[in-house]
């Protein structure tokens, strides 16, 4: 059955990097029998330019109809003066919320060839391969009541609400168990249950869902300790699942452990496994149009799409192996270049990965 992939190039370096993803998908189609159809639509600043808003109606309709979505990046200085609701970033938030993409997969992987880029010692971080699952549509970032108000005594106070319902917790925790089943079957749920009631409910639900996954070892860790353990011994983890704000902090810290943000893909999934895939780096307007951006995070986002939405594990592994081979060959874009390696541009890197695809 042919599956439909919607490609959203976006802004800045977005068009350049997704062009390499398109090249890769077409190669998988032509040479390795992947049954997909590709379509393209504007989002972010490009959406505003095309249709007056960052998530054009037609783009949203195509996104609803697609089986999976690949996004480049959004945003740029040209759009900084727009009203809040017209900013490129709003297009991203809107598509996540319209499609109920609540499960944010943030792998932190350090290819051994790039181990020297990390601030951590190679023996601590080399070969790192962990997955952080961040709940993306609940918690303090969306919770109500919220605001700044003046109390009766005239004192102003700011407030936000960290809130999760049982079904919201259940679906993200379940997502964690499902992903752990595809990996090393160890799931660490991160909360602050010694202090926060919302975490106590979180932990209770995690324990209940765990009964359905006897093959997965569930553990719990407080968020402050998790931040310490990520620094001390990040390889101890397999899959971490946590709420929105904790996940925001921990997934960014974990990404930085690798020292090469330009290498990291991500996914945002709905309850049925449909998802939007994107590199975690931004639109990098300063280097847009120069052909020097690193396309590997986008190509690895394609690999995640093959694994988690299209259920094409062999194709996913094929892409990841090709990236490893290209790194072995010494090819590096400017952001990951070190002495003794060959500096290449976006297109040359993308073509090298396609050339390295093997049976």
Cβ-based nearer residue to a copy of itself, 147 or 272: 147
Q: How many CA atoms lie within 13 A of 295 on its CB side?
A: 32
Residue 187 neighbours by CB under 8 Å, 6+ apart: 176, 177, 180, 216, 217, 218, 219, 238, 239, 240, 241
Can you tell me the distance from the alpha carbon of 316 to that of 301, in angstroms, rounded to the nearest whole number?
A: 10
Residue 319 as a binder of a copy of itself (CB under 8 A): the answer is no
# residues contacting a copy of itself (CB under 8 A): 55
Choice among 29, 129, 141, 184 that is catalytic: 141
192 part of the active site: yes
Verify whether residue 49 is a known catalytic residue. Answer: no
Q: Is residue 224 a contact residue for Mg ion (CB under 5 A)?
A: yes
Among 126, 259, 273, 345, binds a copy of itself (CB under 8 A): 259
What does 314 bind: a copy of itself, Mg ion, none (CB cut-off 5 to 8 Å by kind)?
A: none
Residues 6+ apart with CB under 8 A from 295: 16, 17, 20, 21, 333, 346, 349, 350, 353
Q: Which does 227 bind (CB under 5 to 8 A by kind): a copy of itself, Mg ion, none?
A: a copy of itself
Among residues 96, 92, 179, 98, the alpha carbon closest in space to that of 133 is found at 179
- The region of 121-129, 149-157, 218-226, 276-284 touching Mg ion under the rule CB under 5 A is 218-226
Among 248, 270, 278, 320, contact with Mg ion (rule: CB under 5 A): 248
Interaction partner, residue 355 (Mg ion, a copy of itself, none; CB < 5-8 Å by kind)? none
* Least separation in angstroms between CB 236 and Mg ion: 18
Q: Which residues contact 224 (CB under 8 A, 6 or more apart)?
A: 192
Sequence-distant (≥ 6) Cβ neighbours of residue 358 within 8 angstroms: 318, 321, 322, 325
Residue whose CB is less far from Mg ion, 141 or 337: 141
Q: How far apart are CA 80 and CA 87, in angstroms?
A: 7
Phi, psi of 129 (to 5 degrees): -155, 85
> Does the footprint of a copy of itself cover residue 196 (CB under 8 A)?
yes
- Per CB under 8 A, contacts with a copy of itself among 88-147 are 119-121, 124-125, 140-141, 143, 146-147
Active site residue 335: no
Give the separation between CA 110 and CA 185, rounded to whole angstroms: 20
Helix (H), strand (E) at residue 49 = helix 45-51
- Applying CB under 8 A, among 245, 296, 319, 331 the residue interacting with a copy of itself is 245
> Nearest to residue 104, comparing CAs of 245, 232, 206?
245
List, by residue number, the catalytic residues: 141, 192, 224, 248, 252
Binding site for Mg ion (CB under 5 A): 224, 248, 252
Binding site for a copy of itself (CB under 8 A): 119-121, 124-125, 140-141, 143, 146-148, 151, 155-167, 192, 195-202, 223-225, 227-233, 245-246, 248-250, 252-253, 255-257, 259
């Amino acid at each position: 059955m042919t599956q439909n992939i919607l490609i959203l190039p976006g802004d800045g370096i977005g068009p350049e990097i997704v062009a390499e993803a398109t090249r890769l998908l077409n190669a998988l189609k032509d040479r390795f029998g992947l049954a997909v159809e590709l379509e393209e639509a504007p989002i972010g600043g490009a959406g505003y330019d095309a249709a007056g808003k960052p998530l054009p109606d037609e783009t949203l309709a195509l996104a609803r109809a697609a089986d999976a979505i690949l996004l480049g990046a959004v945003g740029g200085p040209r759009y900084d003066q727009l009203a809040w609701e017209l900013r490129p970033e709003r297009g991203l938030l809107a598509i996540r919320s319209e499609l109920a993409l609540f499960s944010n997969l943030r792998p932190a992987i350090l290819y051994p060839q790039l181990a020297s880029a990390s601030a951590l010692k190679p023996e601590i971080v080399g070969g790192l391969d962990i997955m952080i699952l961040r709940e993306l549509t609940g918690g303090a970032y969306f919770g109500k009541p919220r605001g700044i108000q003046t109390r009766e005594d005239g004192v102003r106070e700011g407030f936000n609400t960290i809130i999760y319902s049982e079904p919201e917790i259940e679906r993200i925790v379940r997502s964690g168990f499902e992903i752990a089943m595809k990996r090393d079957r160890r799931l660490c749920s991160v909360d602050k249950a010694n202090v926060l009631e919302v975490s106590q409910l979180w932990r209770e639900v995690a324990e209940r869902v765990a009964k359905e996954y006897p093959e997965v070892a569930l553990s719990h860790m407080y968020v402050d300790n998790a931040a310490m353990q990520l620094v001390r011994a990040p390889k101890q983890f397999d899959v971490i699942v946590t709420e929105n704000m904790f996940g925001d902090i921990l997934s960014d810290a974990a990404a930085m452990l690798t020292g090469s943000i330009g290498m990291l893909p991500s996914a945002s999934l709905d309850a049925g496994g449909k998802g939007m895939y994107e590199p975690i780096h931004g639109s990098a307007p300063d280097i847009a149009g120069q052909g020097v951006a690193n396309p590997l995070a986008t190509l690895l986002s394609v690999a995640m799409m093959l694994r988690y939405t299209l259920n094409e594990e062999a194709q996913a592994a094929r892409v990841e192996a090709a990236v490893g081979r290209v790194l072995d060959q010494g090819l590096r874009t400017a952001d990951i270049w070190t002495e003794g390696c060959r500096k290449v541009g976006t297109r040359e890197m993308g073509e090298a990965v396609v050339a390295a695809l093997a049976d």
